[in-house]
Amino acid sequence: MATELEELAGRLRRFGAEREWEKFHTPKNLAMALAGEAGELLAEFQWLTPGESQRPDPETLGRIRGELADVLNYLVQLADALEIDLMEAAYDKIDVSERRYASDIYRGSARKAPPLSP
């Protein structure tokens, strides 16, 4: 049975195939598209204070929702193109971070310990 993300990957595969866009969707290009959408996401937050970023006005929130969707869609297409299991990769990374950032040592401090980074 296909999981949630596999179903999304299937839908995106059909979407691209119907338009013969596969030639554009190399991993290199998808990584660029993903990063481009991440840049649009940044633009929504860049002049907000950290506090304001927690309560965006409805119009901004709607645009943020759209950017998150774009990031997810390109992410799923990229993982699909390289046959990477996204959920497995995500949990593997958390397992590593659990060991790397022992909760009793890193409590309340992120400076030297960028959460969940490589």
- Ranges within 19-58 binding its own copies (CB under 8 A): 19-21, 23-29, 31-51, 53-54, 56
Number of Cβ within a 10 Å radius of residue 103: 7
Instruction: Tell me if 13 contacts its own copies by CB under 8 A.
Output: no
| Contact (CB, 8 A) for 87 and 5 | yes
CB of 58 to its own copies, least distance (A): 12
- Which residue stretches of 19-85 are H helix? 27-45, 50-53, 58-81
Instruction: Tell me if 99 contacts its own copies by CB under 8 A.
Output: no
CB of 39 to its own copies, least distance (A): 2
The answer for residues whose C-beta is within 8 angstroms of residue 64's C-beta and 6 or more apart is: 41, 44, 56
Beta strands in the chain (DSSP E): none
CB of 34 to its own copies, least distance (A): 6
Under rule CB under 8 A, which residues in 75-94 are in contact with its own copies? 75-76, 78-79, 81-82, 84, 86-87, 89-94
